[in-house]
Amino acid sequence: MNAKRTSKQDKSKSGPPAQSSAGTPQVKENELFPIVGIGASAGGLEAFIQLLSSLPIDTGMAFVLVQHLDPNQKSLLTDILSRITQMLVHEVQDGMAVEPNQVYVIPPNKTMTIAQGILHLVTREKTRKVIMSIDGFFDSLACDRGGQAIGVILSGGDGDGSRGLEAIKAAGGITFAQSEDSAQVSSMPNTAIATGYVDFILPPGEIAEKLASISRHPYVRTGQAIAPTAVSSTASPDALDALSTIFSILRAATRVDFTNYKHTTIKRRIFRRMALYRLENLNDYVRYLQENPAEVQALYQEILINVTSFFRDAQAFEALKQKVFPALLRNRSLDSPIRIWVAGCSTGEEAYSIAICLLEFLASVPLKPPIQIFATDVSEVAIEKARLGIYSKSKVVDVSPERLQRFFTQVEGGYQINKFLRELCIFARQNLLNDPPFSRLDLISCRNVFIYFGASLQKKVLSMFHYGLVPNGFLLLGTSETVGESPDLFTIFDRKFKIYTKQLSPLRLNLDLISNTYPMEITSPQPIVGETSQNELNLQKAADQIVLQQYAPVGVVINAQLEILQFRGQTGAYLEPSPGRASLNLLNMAKEGLRLELRTAVHQAKQDGQAVRKEAIPLREGNLHRPNKSVRTRLVCITVIPFQPKANNEDYFLVLFEDTPAQPPVEAETQSTRRTRSRHQQPSAEQQEIHRLQQELSTTKAYLQSIIEEQQSTNQDLRAANEEILSSNEELQSTNEELQTAKEEIQATNEELSTINDELYRRNAETTHVSNDFQNLLASINIPILMLEGDLRIRRFTPTAAPLFNLIPTDIGRRLSDIKHNFNITDLEPQILEVINTLNMNSQEVQDLEGHWYDLRIRPYRTLDNRIDGAVVVLVEIDTLKRSTELVREARDYAEAIVQTVRESLLVLNAEFQVVTANQAFYETFQVLPSDTEQCQIFELGNGQWNIPSLRSLLESMVNQNTQVQDFEVTHDFEHIGRKTMLLNARRMPPLDGRQLILVAIEDITLKPS
């Protein structure tokens, strides 16, 4: 809906793509155009805005934005971007066609791919597995556009897009990543840069400028390996030889000759590099290579780039486990190692995948022979990465969690192959075309390497593989590769997964390991044979050859497919090459009169397993289509002998040819002789013809009988198969009914699960909300709190508790006893356990090592269902209060000391006139005890001797009216001390603990003069 609104608003601004002022050509209808895939995550919106605001509207490119969006919220990205650029901005709908000079935005909760310029959407699956939506789109973009695919990685917080950039670059496209200083979150672009597959590292604005610049390059416009202006018919001879010059430069710098590689692939890589520097002429690029040695190495790595991954074509690895590995263990001794060679291993994923599969297979069998895996590649950079065995998270996304846990170790930046697995694989740099191969191998894996080789290189490498394999060894090729023109070296073992087995070859293989380009004095080891022994061996061979030529019949050795493996003697009288494509098939090479008999004899020998002999087979020679030419008929005898070599379980056949005596040739007879034979031997000729026809009829009958037998056998097999199919059909019908019932049950269960899922989603949202509140509450509380499990493992703690208990975030889950706290208390753990067991709260004052005071409170941890699940330790700082109390106590002691030294009698009364305290002078003067004085009313002391009405009246008025008593004279007869005259002074004291106090001073003036 938003895309339609944007289209109406901006249609007048952008219009159809046309010739721009900068020279951008008009994009013709149905002409392929570049598509720019832009991936981002956190912080990507600002980068999108900067990039689109700097882009011209007539680049001839389409821009597809893939961002990690919240699947549960509607995206406003389309509305925001439509205000930034004059290009049309669409939110993608399934089946939408991509057009140049327009922007397409992925909708929320979708994954997107592109095929033939059409965008396809799929709803994201609800899974815990990380969904690499950018990688998925970039992979499809590389397949759909090839050299016209452009990948851009902007700000983001994970590794999505790195693997996709690798696919784009391998397909010949161009890659960008946002620079670290310009990205809000740099994890995603930094991960992409670390792969080494990024061409440009720039801020978003400069990425836009570079896109506009390269959009005018012929390679980007057309996606062709040869740009229109690069090599033309009118170019100079130097320009025509530019490609050879580039090969020479590469050969001199890297010792690798790319001359016989497929030139289409090489040219695509070269012109991609030219597009990066905006060079449109091969001669200019040659000069650039000569002036910049670093570019030579960059081009070298560019040509060698190979997209690989763990368990690529997973079914092929399952075929190895199910078919190849069991065959390798047959008749194998325990000390005979399994030797595997991974040729063209790139960065090691293929070698490690085979090693993992082999270890998994050997875990289930009793025989566990040693393993030797050799992995080689011509790129030293790739070999170093393979040896290190560290791969990013995007590289191991297709590895199962079980394999990831067993064979990988998580390290910073990704995962590393475990050491024991790395030690199984020996990585080495090797040039397949020049370096010696390994030998005595059980399996060779060479996948997706032949697609870069020309036919001559493929044939040479296959000869090396044939040499290196043991009899019946296996060869694994890529899904788009075959043994090509070397069917005599390998036979198919599994056609679907391109697994071949070695077959015996009658031809001597010329490996030609040393190229003329690299003159090295290396000679193949030769067996040491004495001069006398060598002469005797040559003499015996010469004699045997004479005997074979003079007395032994000629023949051929064929396999079960009737392919000729070996010629014995001169077979030209019976075999001849057939017109058309060269073939070594026996029936194609046999002369016309022998084909039917040969087919029948071989068939019978194959069926019976015994030698079959066919005699007197007429073979007519000469030009049969021109009657005036002489024609001769020979009688031929054919013998087919089946045999099976000890070193091989395959069936082979020795076919022998012999001539039997025949009548004199027609051209040797005279005219008179012909008249005589015509008169006297005419019946004999007719009889011979009849005999020949009868023999042909007999042969035809035998051949037809063999065909009938095969047909009958085939019919029986078909009837048995038909019965099995009928039985299987009934089982399938029954299974279908069960599936239908199960489908209904699943639908009901799915409805329940949907309901439960909604409830869980709601509760999860509530839990998240509560967790956020709780986390913020703990962070904002300035009180040290420590929450413990029932076994005293740390559950949570507030930031202020961390320094007191010496805690760090990773201590969550550790036992409290493993951590040394900062308090002068030795039995903290037993006290906590006692609280958990008795449910009685504990409180005490403790000091830390620096002398600060805290109120330590231990309470049981109760869950919502009233279950005790640990304890909560709370510390309240009371250092200031403790020190204030101490000061008060010291002040009180100081005051009491002064009071006790005063010679006048002093009393402290409360508002009820009870004695709170009195000094020693009072007790001595009036001869009373403290126990009889304190907490008693002053009017009740002694025998009521202080119950003086005037004194009571003064004290009551002091409390009520806040007055003072000044020099109040009292004369009274006391029981023990007699008549005394006293002078009283009283005043209210400041409140203490909320209590009103009165200080009374009594001075004895009895003896003083009046």
Distances (CA, A) of 1002 to 92, 784, 859, 899, 982: 102, 54, 54, 13, 6
Helix 162-170, helix 187-194: angle, nearest 10: 40
At 179, give phi and psi (nearest 5°): -70, 150
Of the candidates 163, 221, 269, 339, the residue annotated as catalytic is: 269
Instruction: Compute and round to an integer the Cα radius of gyration of the chain.
Output: 51
Angle at 369 between CA 363 and CA 370, to 5 degrees: 105
What is the spatial order of strands in the sheet that 785-788 belongs to?
Answer: 794-797, 785-788, 868-877, 853-862, 842-847
Q: How many whole angstroms separate alpha carbon 202 and alpha carbon 190?
A: 12
Asked whether the CA dihedral 714, 715, 716, 718 is positive or negative, the reply is: positive
Amino acid identity for residue 603 in this structure: H
In 3D, which of 871, 877, 827 has the Cα closest to residue 848? 877
In 3D, which of 205, 169, 4 has the Cα closest to residue 96? 4
Q: How many whole angstroms separate alpha carbon 342 and alpha carbon 377?
A: 9
Of the candidates 10, 160, 377, 848, the residue annotated as catalytic is: 377
Distances (CA, A) of 10 to 64, 84, 98, 101: 18, 11, 17, 12
Strands 915-918 and 905-910: antiparallel
Helix, strand, or coil here: 194? helix
Helix, strand, or coil here: 159? coil
What is the spatial order of strands in the sheet that 965-974 belongs to?
Answer: 915-918, 905-910, 995-1004, 978-992, 965-974
Angle at 754 between CA 748 and CA 756, to 5 degrees: 105
Catalytic site includes residue 512: no
Q: How many whole angstroms separate alpha carbon 342 and alpha carbon 350?
A: 7
Q: How many whole angstroms separate alpha carbon 50 and alpha carbon 47?
A: 5
* 3-state secondary structure string across 511-568: CCCCCCCCCCCCCCCCCCCCHHHHHHHHHHHHHHHHHHHHHCCEEEEEECCCEEEEEE
What is the spatial order of strands in the sheet that 554-559 belongs to?
Answer: 564-568, 554-559, 652-660, 631-643, 612-622
Q: Which residues of 626-658 are buried (b: 16+ CB within 10 A; e: fewer)?
A: eeeeeeebbbbebbbbbeeeeeeeeebbbbbbb
Catalytic site includes residue 377: yes
Helix, strand, or coil here: 948? coil
Q: What's the half-sphere exposure (Cβ side, CA atoms, 13 Å) at 697?
A: 6
Asked whether the CA dihedral 646, 651, 657, 658 is positive or negative, the reply is: positive
H helix runs in 453-530, sequence order: 455-468
For residue 201, give the DSSP letter.
E
In 3D, which of 199, 213, 222, 200 has the Cα closest to residue 268? 222
DSSP run (H or E) holding 914: none
Give yes or no for a contact between 126 and 88, defined as CB atoms under 8 angstroms apart.
no
Pairs from 630-634 (Cβ < 8 Å, separation ≥ 24): 630/665, 630/666, 630/667, 631/666, 632/665, 632/666, 632/667, 633/662, 633/663, 634/659, 634/662
In 3D, which of 835, 793, 833 has the Cα closest to residue 816? 793
Give yes or no for a contact between 459 and 486, defined as CB atoms under 8 angstroms apart.
yes
Give yes or no for a contact between 392 and 414, defined as CB atoms under 8 angstroms apart.
yes
Asked whether the CA dihedral 277, 278, 280, 283 is positive or negative, the reply is: negative
Q: Which residues are catalytic?
A: 269, 377
